[in-house]
Amino acid sequence: MSLRVTHDLHDRRKGRNVGVALVLAGFIVIVFGLTVVKVTSGDFDAAIQSAQPGQQNGGDQ
């Protein structure tokens, strides 16, 4: 059997690895994008406002 640098098997594995890498990269982009949209659209404002009075009360006591 002659020595071959690459085999169809290696191509398929490489394709799988590249596919998984792209999926993971896409997931990072999605989580980052969602974070930016949620923060800039004020989704967390209500949570921040409800947290602040509690902190002030805690300080008064």
Partner 1 sequence: MSDISYSDAARENEASFGDFFALLKPRVMSLVVFTAMVGLLAAPVAVNPFIGFCAILFIAVGGGASGALNMWWDSDIDRIMKRTKGRPIPSGKVDREDALAIGLALSGFAVVMLALATNILAGAWLAFTIFFYVVIYSMWLKRSTPQNIVIGGAAGAFPPVIGWVAATGSMAWEPWLMFALVFMWTPPHFWALALFMRSDYDDAGVPMLTVTHGRRATRRHILAYTALLAVLAIGAGFTSIGGPIYMAVAVVMNALFLLGAIRIARRDEDMAEADNFAVERRFFRLSLLYLFAHFGAILIEALLSRYGLGGWA
Q: Is 39 in the site for partner 1 (CB under 8 A)?
A: no
By CB under 8 A, which span of 31-39, 44-52, 53-61 interacts with partner 1?
31-39
Instruction: Give the helix ranges, DSSP H, for the chain.
Output: 8-40, 45-60
Of 2, 5, 6, 9, which one interacts with partner 1 (CB under 8 A)?
Answer: 9
CA neighbor of 39 nearest in space, from 28, 31, 50, 29: 31
Instruction: Please check whether residue 38 is in contact with residue 44, taking contact to mean a CB–CB distance below 8 angstroms.
Output: yes
Shortest distance in whole angstroms from residue 28 CB to partner 1? 13
Residues near partner 1 (CB under 8 A) are 7-9, 12-13, 15-16, 18-20, 30, 33-34, 37, 41
